[in-house]
Amino acid sequence: MAKGYWVSVYPALSDPEALNAYDKLAGPAVRAGGGRTLSVGGRVVAHEAGITQRAVLIEFDDFEQAVAAYESEAYQKALVALPDGYERDFRIIEGID
């Protein structure tokens, strides 16, 4: 079974500290849903149309688990804590088996 991944990129991130409330809720929700954070805001080398702002990669045992974690009540509460005005490109993708 192929793994599932959450991929988040924040094209406009003027105040990273404003994400603290979201992070405090999202981390436990992701772990409860079976997710493992592989990268959060580490070094980025952007090519082509890429950006170097915060990027997040989270791995799940399978694609369905990744979707279910996003749809969970706990993660939906975390989404409410995202600050106004933040732009985020979020995707759930299926890995290659």
Dump strand ranges (E) for 13-62. Answer: 36-40, 55-60
Domains recognised in the chain with CATH numbers: 4-94 (3.30.70.100)
Average confidence (pLDDT) per 10 residues, the chain, 97 residues: 92 75 93 96 85 89 97 95 84 93
Question: Packing angle between helix 73-80 and helix 63-71, nearest 10 degrees?
Answer: 60
Report if pTM > 0.85. Answer: yes
Structure confidence at residue 85 (pLDDT): 74
Q: Which residue carries 């694609």 as its tokens? A: 63
What whole-number distance in Å separates Cα of residue 57 and Cα of residue 35? 10
Structure confidence at residue 53 (pLDDT): 81
